[in-house]
Amino acid sequence: MLPFFPASRFSLKESERMGAGDEEAMGKREKREEFNVIGTAPKMGEEEVRMVEEILGYRFGNKDLVEEALTHGSFYLPYKPAKSYERLEFMGDAVLTCIVAREVFSSYPDLSPGPLTRLRAANVDTEKLARVAVEHGLHRYLRHKAPQLEAQIFRRLAAPLINPETLGKHPMSELYELCQKLKMDVTFLKGVWPENPKIDVLVDGKLVGSGNGQKKEIAQNRAAKAALDRLKETLGDLDSTTLDHPD
């Protein structure tokens, strides 16, 4: 059994062993840390909170939740650390996945578990959420000091697929909706990552689109988009009334 030593005894021994150079270094470090932390980060303004509530169509009883949900950890540099979105993200991921699972289950009664799983994943991935955020203007209220964060979410992931005509749509959802309406089977064939980062889309056994990407989700979305473009050429305008009554 290890003997108990009060913390004060350790502090005394440490100070006895510490040389003049060590004390000087520690003093400089403490001053540097004190200098770097300059106080408390500014709160989210009442008008900003009100605008977010307006976008969401919901009034929060606890307004601090709005600020916490929209604040990235980088925002607090060089301020004292405080709450950021991570804990709410943990709960939000679970709730969102449950809601989307219920929605696709009821919306596509003829789909098997495999396509249902892919459709659910496609509607809760980063690209889909980035589309929703941009479409509704929520991205304007994100609080962060990490420029690469915005680049990763909006440029690297969303830019290859988003344009004014497709903003708010998701190629996976649109492809499944069209093929279900036309009673066509959809199959995604995945390559072996990272040697062959490619996904092919087969509709009724025929190759209609392919996509590449470092992430499977991105390759899958690009493949779905390519398949949609090919089907548009073959079948005509996806929004035409003839597709609403394929029989």
Each residue of 63-110: pLDDT tens digit? 988 888 888 877 777 777 778 888 888 888 888 889 889 998 998 888
Neighbours of 3 (CB within 10 A): 4
In a domain, 215, yes or no: yes
In the structure encoding, which two tokens stand for residue 65, read together? 């939740």
pLDDT of residue 54: 93
The parts of the chain modelled with pLDDT lower than 70 are 1-38, 146-169, 236-247
φ, ψ of residue 55 in degrees (nearest 5): -65, -45
Domain count, the chain: 1
Residue 188, H or E segment: strand 186-190
pTM for this prediction? 0.52
**What pLDDT digit, counting tens, does each position of 214-233 carry?**
778 778 888 998 999 899 88
Query: Is residue 201, in this structure, part of any structural domain at all?
Result: yes
- Domain annotation covers residue 209: yes
Q: What's the pLDDT score for residue 95?
A: 87
State the residue range of the domain holding 176: 170-247
* Residues 60, 150: Cα–Cα separation, whole Å: 26
For residue 217, give the nearest of 193, 195, 238 by alpha carbon: 193
Residue 202's φ and ψ, nearest 5 degrees, are: -110, 130
Sequence letter at residue 74: S
- Please tell me the distance from the alpha carbon of residue 200 to that of residue 117, in angstroms, as a whole number: 18
* pLDDT given for residue 242 in this prediction: 46
**Which of 110, 234, 118 is closest to 181 using CA atoms?**
110
Backbone angles phi, psi at 117, to 5 degrees: -65, -45
Pairwise CA distance, residues 227 & 152, whole Å? 25
> Would 218 be classed as within a structural domain?
yes
AA letter at 182:
L
Query: Is residue 202 domain-resident?
Result: yes
Residue 48 amino acid letter? E
Give domain status of residue 227, yes or no: yes
Contacts of 82 (CB under 8 A, 6+ apart): 40, 41, 71, 76
Contact 72, 85 (CB under 8 A): yes
**Is residue 247 domain-resident?**
yes
Structure tokens at 104: 């696709």
Angle between helices 86-107 and 113-122 (to 10 degrees): 140
Main-chain phi, psi angles of 58, to 5 degrees: -150, 140
In a domain? residue 76? no
Do the beta carbons of residue 130 and residue 153 sit within 8 Å?
yes
d(CA 201, CA 176): 11
Quote the tokens at residue 14. 């440490």
**CATH number of the structural domain spanning residue 195:** 3.30.160.20
Q: Could you tell me if 198 and 191 are in contact, meaning their C-beta atoms sit under 8 angstroms apart?
A: yes
* The two structure tokens encoding residue 10: 């350790």
